[in-house]
Structures are given as structure tokens and as C-alpha cells.
Amino acid sequence: MEMGWRWDFTYEILPQMAIATLNTILAAGVGYAIALIVGLFFLLAQRTPSKIFNWVNREIVEFIRSTPLLIQLFFVYFVLPQFGITLSAWVCGMITIGLHFGTYMSEVYRGALEGVSKTQWEACRALNFSTIYTYRRIVLPQAFPIAIPGMGNYLVGIFKDTPLLSTIGVAELFHAATAVGGYNYRYLEPYTLVGIIFLTLSIPAAMWVRKLERDVNISQGKIKK
């Protein structure tokens, strides 16, 4: 076996890797969208008046947050068919990522809502604003900038966790690299390429999140230009 970097092999596998990269981005995007919505449901469940319901919800969130995503993936992928629900690897992966990061998103939302001062609520009460109006015009616009760093970080976080999907057979970037590597028995180029592709996507994404955070803070008058 030839040692060292082989450019011809790199060029040969590049198109395959590029297509797989699109799948990775798609998986991260869909997973993120689901997580955003699931997070809202967990948040709503936290804010119900029922004590028992709150406790159950908190324990579920705690359980999902303190167990590995990898085993959750296996659990969903292998256990659901036992109950007669057969889903494709894609769907299983998206559900699991959505649930796992949904619990994190709910914490981000909660922190953001709690970051809005209590007096804002009281003022709205005094002005006889309805709850919906208070949320829409007063609370959410103030909570949003607090939530942005957390939301952005989890977008990057989900993106970096998508390689786990390869373990249940989702044809994303890492899966393609493993397949190509196994077929040619050369792992140097595929895995290095995966690393480079991840770097070139996640560093600009992280920078964009930082800029967004700054822009929102400026528009809210929190920091000066």
C-alpha cells in the first residue's frame, strides 16, 4: 500500500464527498428545525401550572440530556420496529436529533424568557395588555437576543453531531468517507477531507453566529458600535 497523501485518489473521491456534504447539511438543517419546535413543546410543558406534569417533564428532559445521543439513536432505530413501527434511518435520525437537541433548546428558551426583567411583565399588566400582546410585542423581542448565542451554538453543535447518523446508515458525509475508505482500504484522504469540510463549514458558521449576536445586541442598544 502506498504511503502518503495521494492527490489522484483525492480528486477521484471528491465528487462523492461533495454530494454527501449536501446530505450532511440537509440533515443538520432538518434536525435543527425539529429541535427548534420540540424545544417549544418542552418549554410549554415546563410552564404549565400542574406540579406533577412539570416534574415529569423535567425528569424526561434531564434523562434525554444526560444520556448519549449515540445510544438514543440505536434505541430509536432498533426498538421502534419491535413495536411494529418501521422508520427509515433518515427519519429515525431526524427524530432523535430533534428530541435530543430539543431538550437543550428548551433550556435556551427558558433562560431567555427568564432573562427578561419581571418589571416588564408588571408594566404590561399595569397597561392592561393581553398576555399574547405582551409576549408578542414586549417579552419576545427582548428574549430573542438573549436566546441567539445559545440557538446558534446548537446549530453548529447539531452539525457536528451529524456524523453519528452514519452509525445507523444515513448516507451523510462521514458515512460516505467510511464507505469510500473501506472500499479502497485508504482512510487517510477520506477522513482528512471530512475534517477539512467540517472546518470550512463550521468555522464560518460560528463566526456568523458571533456576528449575529453582536448585530442584535447593537440593534437593541446593549453595546455600541
Partner 1 sequence: MTYFEFLNEHGITLLLGTVTTVKVLVCSMILYVIISMIFGLMRLSKNPVIQGTATVYIEFFRGTSLLVQLFWAYYVLPFFGISLEAFTAGVVALGLNFGAYGAEIVRAGILAVPKGQWEAAHSLNFTPAKRIKRIIIPQIFPIILPPAANLTVELLKATALVALVTVVDLTFEAKQINSITWLSAQCFGTALLIYYIMARFALVPFLRWLEVLAARKVGKEKA
Binding site for partner 1 (CB under 8 A): 3-4, 62-63, 65-72, 74-75, 78-79, 82, 160-164, 167, 174, 178, 181, 187-188, 191-192, 194-195, 198-199, 202-203, 206
Identity of the amino acid at 88: S
The end-to-end CA distance of the chain, in Å, is 57
Residue 163 C-beta: closest distance to partner 1, Å: 4
User: Based on CB atoms, which residue is closest to partner 1, 38 or 161?
Assistant: 161
Question: Largest alpha-carbon pair distance within the chain?
Answer: 78
Provide the minimum distance between the beta carbon of 116 and partner 1 in the complex, in angstroms, as a whole number.
Answer: 22
User: Minimal CA–CA distance to 193: which of 12, 1, 66, 63?
Assistant: 12
Nearer to partner 1 (CB atom), residue 144 or residue 149: 149
What is the identity of the amino acid at 125?
A: R
Nearest approach, Cβ of residue 88 and partner 1 (Å): 17
Give the CA distances from residue 225 to residues 26, 215, 219, in Å, rounded to whole numbers and listed in that order.
Answer: 35, 9, 10
Residues 6+ apart with CB under 8 A from 13: 180, 189, 190, 193
Nearer to partner 1, 74 or 135 (CB): 74
Of the pair 70, 218, the CB lying nearest partner 1 is at 70
CB of 134 or CB of 178, closer to partner 1? 178
**Nearest-approach distance from CB 85 to partner 1, in angstroms:** 12
Element (H, E) at 50: none
Burial label, 82 (beta-carbon count in 10 A; 0-12, 13-18, 19+): exposed
Smallest separation (angstroms) from partner 1 to the CB of 8: 16
